[in-house]
Amino acid sequence: MTTVAAIKDRLAALQPAHLDVIDDSAQHAGHIGARDGGGHYRIHIVSERFAGLPTMARHRLVYDALGTLMEGAIHALSITARTPAE
């Protein structure tokens, strides 16, 4: 399973109405984190689970869902987390 597929699989726990995962790793070739195998990703996720939560709490939900991927497969992560109403 690719890292993008693994990210999507794990974020399914947040029941996203919309989810985009963009792999920016190629733009960071030679970067110290890229040499260690960790990739650079952008996530755009829309979920009712974020309703009433501040940005940091939304990001914590994403990090918790990604679990061990944050320990190696993912070196850098940009998150946009919104509710369907936003």
**How many domains does the chain fold into?**
1
Return the pLDDT at 29: 59
| C-alpha to C-alpha distance for 39 and 48, rounded to whole angstroms | 28
The range of the structural domain enclosing residue 28 comes to 3-82
Q: What is the tens place of the pLDDT at every residue in 12-59?
A: 999 999 999 999 876 655 655 555 556 889 999 999 999 999 999 999
- Return the CATH number at 33: 3.30.300.90
DSSP secondary structure letter of residue 17: S
CA distance 63 to 78: 11
Mean pLDDT of 51-73: 95
| pTM of the shown model | 0.86
* Beta-carbon contacts of residue 61 (< 8 Å; ≥ 6 apart): 14, 49, 50, 53, 81
Tokens of 11: 């974020």
